[in-house]
Amino acid sequence: MMNYNEILDSYKKLAALISNPSPDLQYPEIYNALGSLEEDLNLLQILTPSNEGLNGVILLKDQVVALLNFVAGLNHMQQQQQAAGFGIPPPRSQSPSSDSIDEPITSEQLSVKGFKDIAGMWELKEVLKMMVILPKKQPQLFENRRMTNSLLLFGPPGTGKTKIVHGIAAEANCSLFAISVADIMQKYLGESEKTIKNYFEMVRNYKGFSILFFDEIDSISQRRGSRDAGYSRRVLTEFMCQMNKLEETRNCLVVAATNCPWDLDPAVMRRFQRRVYCPLPDDFERYEIIKLMLDESGIEPQALDWSSLQKQTKGLSGSDIKNGVQAGLDKPLLDLQVNRLWKVTKSGFFEPCDKNTSLEENVVCMNLDDIPDKTVRASKPKVADILNALSKVKPTVSQNDVLKYQKYNEEF
């Protein structure tokens, strides 16, 4: 059994060893040594209960055990991260660069083929034509004129901010680089700022005209405060520095979109030369959206009672209306699930029976799951299906939110 001084010295040596652990430190052996020391310490307490120095040794023991548990846990976590590919700094050659950034969105990947696929938003369409198409077709107009090459779109969700960017890329037949926060934020110190810099350098050095689109820009450019993390400030600062360099660039357009413009840092707002409010669609725009959705459905828009729809769809966003019309168009597919009587055509297709089906036709009673694959046809959607579906749509943007956007647009 060790005496008091020997136990104290052993705990001090273990504390020094744990505080500066070597890569080959064997944690099980340290735990075993602590167990042996605790046995000697307990025996010493029994034999010399009046020894006042024992309290200091017990306190030191507790501190050493707590330190060991922390260091061992940290070591275990680092091993798990390394096994999963985290925590190991990348080689210099693997850092994000403009050469390794994703390819632009191709024309086939664009969500629309042009402005003809987007209802309404006429003012914004004219602005984008002036900023993108006019310089390409009439470059002499901009020889001694400062280019407007940064645009901020703000407004309620579902008003077509992202779609309009795809639309101008299709109209101008130019490259579109769509950037999200996941493309920017990196796990290593300084890599997020470098990624932003590389994106801007890429579009500045791009051979043709290109659009750099930041969706949900508020996720990387919120108002700065005293409690901000250092990395968020660095990312924001780098973004603003790159926006400053963009002013003399004539072969690209930077577009950003946000649903929360009041969260943006004022310094970021200042760097966008043009700011456009994208409100909820008005009466005529809502009609245009429904008309566009029904284009290939076989339903004539004139068949709809627009006077009632005008009131029914007020306050709905373009996305709300699109979802409602789509639900109406899907109603015949939903009816297939409960249909039991089928009319078999001469070409072998199964169609649901209706009131005009004759008993002389080839009619069978079957569940949908029992019908052979790729042999079912649905009925055509009806006007009543569209009206009923739209009546069930609830606005995703409240009237208070609309007033908030309008007030912000008036002030800024």
Query: Mean of the pLDDT values across residues 166-191?
Result: 86
In contact, 260 and 223? CB cutoff 8 Å: no
CB under 8 A, 24+ apart: contacts of 344-348: 345/377, 348/375
Query: Mean of the pLDDT values across residues 21-38?
Result: 69
DSSP β-bridge partners for residue 153 = 257, 276
CA-CA distance, 115 to 256, in Å (whole number)? 19
pLDDT above 90 for 35:
no
Starting at the edge strand found earlier in the chain, the sheet holding 252-258 runs 175-179, 210-215, 252-258, 150-154, 274-277
CA dihedral 219, 221, 224, 228 (to 10 degrees): 50
> Which of 11-15, 275-279, 365-369 bottoms out in mean pLDDT, i.e. has the lowest?
11-15
pLDDT confidence of residue 264: 93
- Whole-Å CA distances, 228 to 155, 220, 240: 26, 12, 17
pLDDT above 50 for 323:
yes
CA-CA distance, 352 to 338, in Å (whole number)? 10
CA-CA distance, 84 to 237, in Å (whole number)? 32
pLDDT confidence of residue 100: 46
Handedness of CA 47, 53, 59, 65 (dihedral sign): negative
Residues near 352 by Cβ (< 8 Å), separated by ≥ 6? Answer: 335, 336, 339, 341, 342, 343, 378, 379
pLDDT digits 0-9 by tens, 128-175: 999 999 988 898 988 888 888 999 999 999 999 999 999 999 999 899
CA-CA distance, 8 to 53, in Å (whole number)? 10
Percent of the chain with pLDDT over 70: 77
Handedness of CA 330, 335, 338, 339 (dihedral sign): negative
pLDDT confidence of residue 104: 72
Percent of the chain with pLDDT over 90: 44
pLDDT above 90 for 258:
yes
Q: At what angle do helices 4-19 and 27-47 cross, to 10 degrees?
A: 160
CA-CA distance, 238 to 358, in Å (whole number)? 73
Residue 380's closest CA among 339, 325, 332?
332
163 or 354: which leads in pLDDT: 163
CA-CA distance, 78 to 87, in Å (whole number)? 7
pLDDT above 70 for 77:
no
Handedness of CA 74, 79, 83, 86 (dihedral sign): positive
Q: What is the β-pairing status of strands 341-344 and 350-352?
A: antiparallel
Residue type, 312: Q
DSSP notation for 129-142: IIIIIHHHH-GGGG
pLDDT confidence of residue 71: 61
pLDDT above 50 for 86:
no
Per the listing, tokens 């602590």 go with 34
Query: Mean of the pLDDT values across residues 104-132?
Result: 86
pTM of the entire structure? 0.71
CA-CA distance, 400 to 152, in Å (whole number)? 23
| pLDDT averaged over every residue in the chain | 82
106: pLDDT confidence band, cut at 50, 70 and 90?
low
Go through the domains of the chain in sequence order and give each one's CATH number.
Answer: 4-83 (no CATH), 95-277 (3.40.50.300), 283-395 (1.10.8.60)
